[in-house]
Amino acid sequence: MESVFAILAEPNRRAIISLLISSQQSVGEIERRLRMPQPTVSKHLRVLRDAGFVEATVDAQRRLYRLKPEPLQELDAWLAPFRQFWPTHLDALERHLDRVEPPIPTKQKTRRGK
């Protein structure tokens, strides 16, 4: 479970991280808001903490978890060399995201005009 990507591959972990954007949260708050069993939350938080995505402060029995930026910055750094490929600007992306990619027929070479 080394890489930043492997950590983020888990949807529930991404949900937790996204939830923490607004502010720090206790385990119980995360549990309620994401409707996730408590052990599940704790286990994912453990993974996220070990990977440096979050840190916790102890508040009596509660633990308040908050984001740490470093791993996400690392992700951004990884992404950087690819930015040269992007078309002009963000508008093309939004068009793409709402569309389903059609399957690619490998059969014949139909040449179609546009």
Partner DNA sequence: CATATATATTCCTTGACACGTATATGCTCA
Partner DNA sequence: TGAGCATATACGTGTCAAGGAATATATATG
Q: How many residues bind DNA (CB under 7 A)?
A: 26
SS (H, E, C) 45-107: HHHHHHCCCEEEEEECCEEEEEECCHHHHHHHHHHHHHHHHCCCCCHHHHHHHCCCCCCCCCC
51 belongs to the binding site for DNA (CB under 7 A): no
Give the residue with the Cβ less far from DNA, 39 or 113: 39
> Which positions lie near a copy of itself, rule CB under 8 A?
3, 5-6, 8-9, 11, 14, 17-18, 21, 49, 52, 55, 58, 67, 69-70, 72-77, 79-87, 90, 92-94, 96-98, 100-102, 104, 109
Report what 43 binds from a copy of itself, DNA, none; CB cut-off 5-8 Å by kind: DNA
Tell me the residue length of the chain: 114
From the list DNA, a copy of itself, none, pick the one residue 98 interacts with, judged by a Cβ distance below 5 to 8 Å according to partner type: a copy of itself
